[in-house]
């Protein structure tokens, strides 16, 4: 048995990494934005370039494939040509590669979807960083009010401002402790109270602290009741923080309204995609005026996806501007809204991604070669197909989809093969005499049975 690792193994490695990071910071002092903006943006660009090189492209709102009517017409012409050439028997073999109609192909992830992922990669680190920074600054401002209060108390006790700061550097001031100690040390080495306090305020990165520090410095030179002025500054600063917190609390309801509105938009689009638009597309390729129906050739799901993502991004920025006064702080809301919208679109709106084709097998009608029927009526006997693998063995427990062209209905629209690989379907012919085809499709495999419909008159 290999010896177990030392208990402090991970602590040692973490400490080494911390030392390396600290050394880089001291030697080079890299800007924070390199890690929160530069690196994520570079990664996002590499993701986009990689997707482009692998063949991804922007998916527009125009469908890439032809309409269902064109597909039906081509298949009907193929059947007619085969029958005219006396090749009806060959048309029923399972090795045919004819494609069933009305089946939307599974889509490959488009470059627009990759772009959304890249945007999330690029803005998420910065959104998290500025959110944490703001919370950190707010906490420092709260502690700074306590620092001013204690400073005024020490000065009331008879100490001058410099000695008061030195005394406070010996106490625990939370996040302010290292900053106050640096200020006290600089005073010890001869820097003035004004220089040290302004340097400390600058290191805290807070406009409010900078403003009140300038007030404290002016008070220290004014003479008189300096301690009272500093105490008043502490109270004013505390009141301003309370007012800002109350304002943010009041505006939080508007944030929830934006989130709720985005959810409603997604729900409406889902309802349109699953209920109304399929009905519109079934109306056919022409409208009531006899003109081309442009709705049939549009990919609404892709357009809806673009709309949801754009609305989520700019909606998040608006939330930040309204609730926190700066659009940058809305990036965290944009990340949440875009991620939630992307997941909702992937699950309910966009077509599923392409999957590798299943194992090939044959789908052949059991008998006969050509069925006979009467227009407007169902066939006397059901049509049976058998699924077999390349070795001729039955393929069971496989779902098969049925369809018929150029008209008519099939019942059921799908069936699962039994232990002998058999599926059954009943066909109801349309009102037009002529040639019909019933398709049986499973995965990328298609079989078909030919029917001749005679007039019922």
Predicted pLDDT at 93: 41
Q: What is the pLDDT of residue 242?
A: 93
| 380 and 404 in a common domain | yes
Taking only the tens place, the pLDDT of each residue in 142-161 is 999 999 999 999 988 888 88
Statement to judge: residues 255 and 125 lie in one domain: yes
What CATH number is attached to the domain comprising 433?
A: 2.60.40.10
Which strand (E) or helix (H) includes residue 250?
Answer: helix 226-271
Give the residue from 322, 339, 354 where a domain finishes: 354
Q: Examine residue 435 and state whether it is found in any structural domain, yes or no.
A: yes
Average pLDDT, stretch 291-297?
A: 53
* pTM score, whole prediction: 0.63
Do 36 and 84 fall into the same domain?
A: no
Q: Given this model, what pLDDT does residue 356 score?
A: 55
Tell me whether residue 443 is exposed, middle or buried, using C-beta atoms within 10 angstroms of its C-beta: 0 to 12, 13 to 18, 19 or more: middle
Dihedral angle, C-alpha 213, 215, 217, 218, nearest 10 °:
170
Whole-angstrom distance, CA of residue 194 vs CA of residue 414: 84
* Domain termination site, one of 294, 319, 354: 354
Q: Return the sign of the alpha-carbon dihedral for residues 328, 333, 339, 341.
A: negative
Task: Look at residue 258 and tell me if it is in a domain.
Answer: yes
Q: Is residue 192 part of a domain?
A: yes
Domain that holds residue 433: 68-104+358-454
Please check whether residues 324 and 414 belong to one and the same domain.
Answer: no
The per-residue pLDDT for 184 is 92
Report phi then psi at 66, rounded to 5. -70, 170
The answer to the question of residue 278 being in a domain is yes
**For residue 100, with 0-12 CB atoms within 10 Å meaning exposed, 13-18 middle and 19 or more buried, which class applies?**
buried
Same domain, 287 and 371: no
pLDDT at 239 over 80: yes
SS3 of residue 107 by DSSP: strand
State mean pLDDT over 262-275. Answer: 90
Q: Is 3 inside a domain boundary?
A: no
Do residues 442 and 423 make contact, with C-beta atoms less than 8 angstroms apart? no
Q: Give CA–CA dist 92/417, Å, rounded.
A: 18
Domains contained in the chain, number: 2
On whether both 350 and 363 belong to a single domain, the answer is no
Whether 206 and 240 map to the same domain: the answer is yes
* Residue 172 structure tokens: 């625990």
Do 430 and 344 share a structural domain? no
- Asked, for residue 339, whether it belongs to a domain, the answer is yes
d(CA 411, CA 425): 6
* Top mean-pLDDT range of 69-73, 210-214, 357-361: 210-214
Q: Residues for the chain: how many in total?
A: 457
Separation between Cα atoms, residue 445 and residue 358, nearest integer Å: 9
**In the predicted model, what is the mean pLDDT of residues 210-221?**
88
**Position 63 in a domain:** no
Whether residues 91 and 163 share a domain: the answer is no
Q: For the segment 429-448, what is each residue's pLDDT rounded down to a tens digit?
A: 888 898 999 999 987 788 99
Average pLDDT over residues 410-427: 92
- Quick one: 173 and 193 in the same domain? yes
Q: Do residues 41 and 143 share a domain?
A: yes
pLDDT, tens digit, for every residue of 317-369?
999 999 888 999 999 999 999 999 999 999 988 877 655 555 678 899 987 87
Q: What is the pLDDT of residues 160-179, one digit of tens each?
A: 889 999 999 999 999 899 99
Tell which of 311, 330, 354 closes a domain: 354
pLDDT at 126: 95
- What pLDDT, in 10s, does the model give residues 31-53? 888 889 999 999 999 999 998 88
Burial class (CB in 10 A: 0-12, 13-18, 19+), 109: middle
216 three-state secondary structure: helix
Answer yes or no: is pLDDT of 413 > 70. yes
The residue that leads in pLDDT, 15 or 420, is 420
Residues 99, 74 within the same domain? yes
In a domain, 5, yes or no: no
């Amino acid at each position: 048995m290999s010896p177990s690792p030392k208990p402090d193994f991970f602590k040692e490695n973490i400490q080494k990494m911390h030392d390396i990071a600290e050394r880089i910071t001291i030697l080079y002092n890299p800007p924070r934005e390199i890690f929160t903006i530069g690196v994520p943006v570079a990664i996002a660009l590499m993701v986009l370039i990689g997707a482009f090189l692998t063949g991804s492209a922007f998916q527009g709102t125009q469908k890439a494939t032809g309409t269902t009517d064109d597909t039906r017409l081509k298949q009907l012409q193929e059947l007619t040509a085969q029958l005219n050439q006396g090749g009806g028997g060959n048309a029923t073999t399972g090795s045919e590669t004819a494609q069933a109609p009305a089946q939307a192909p599974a889509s490959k992830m488009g470059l627009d979807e990759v772009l959304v992922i890249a945007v999330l990669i690029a803005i998420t680190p910065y959104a998290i960083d500025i959110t944490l920074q703001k919370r950190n600054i707010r906490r420092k401002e709260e502690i700074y009010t306590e620092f001013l209060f204690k400073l005024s108390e020490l000065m009331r006790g008879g100490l001058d401002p410099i000695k008061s700061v030195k005394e406070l550097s010996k106490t625990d001031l939370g996040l302010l402790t290292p900053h106050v100690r640096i200020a006290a040390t600089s005073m010890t080495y001869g820097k003035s109270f004004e220089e040290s306090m302004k340097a400390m305020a600058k290191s805290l990165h807070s406009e409010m602290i900078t403003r009140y520090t300038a007030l404290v410095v002016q008070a220290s030179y004014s003479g008189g009741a300096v301690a009272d002025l500093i105490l008043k500054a502490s109270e004013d600063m505390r009141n301003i923080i309370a007012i800002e917190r109350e304002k943010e609390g009041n505006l939080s309801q508007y944030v929830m309204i934006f989130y709720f509105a985005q959810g409603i938009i997604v729900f409406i689009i889902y309802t349109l995609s699953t209920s109304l638009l399929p009905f519109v597309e079934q109306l056919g390729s022409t409208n009531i005026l006899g003109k081309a129906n442009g709705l049939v050739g549009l990919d609404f799901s892709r357009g809806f996806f673009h709309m949801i993502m754009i609305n989520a991004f700019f909606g998040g920025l608006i939330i930040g501007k309204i609730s926190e006064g700066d659009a940058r702080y809305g990036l965290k809301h944009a990340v949440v809204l875009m991620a939630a919208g992307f997941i909702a679109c992937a699950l309910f709106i966009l077509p599923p991604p392409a999957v590798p084709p299943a194992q090939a097998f044959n789908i052949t009608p059991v008998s006969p070669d050509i069925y006979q029927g009467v227009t407007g009526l169902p066939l006397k006997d059901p049509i049976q197909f058998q699924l077999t693998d390349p070795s001729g063995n039955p393929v069971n427990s496989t779902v098969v989809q049925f369809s018929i062209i150029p008209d008519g209905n099939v019942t059921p629209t799908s069936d699962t093969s039994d232990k002998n690989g058999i599926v059954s379907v009943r066909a109801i012919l349309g009102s037009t005499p002529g040639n019909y085809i019933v398709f049986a499709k499973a995965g990328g495999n298609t079989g078909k049975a030919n029917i001749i419909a005679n007039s019922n008159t």
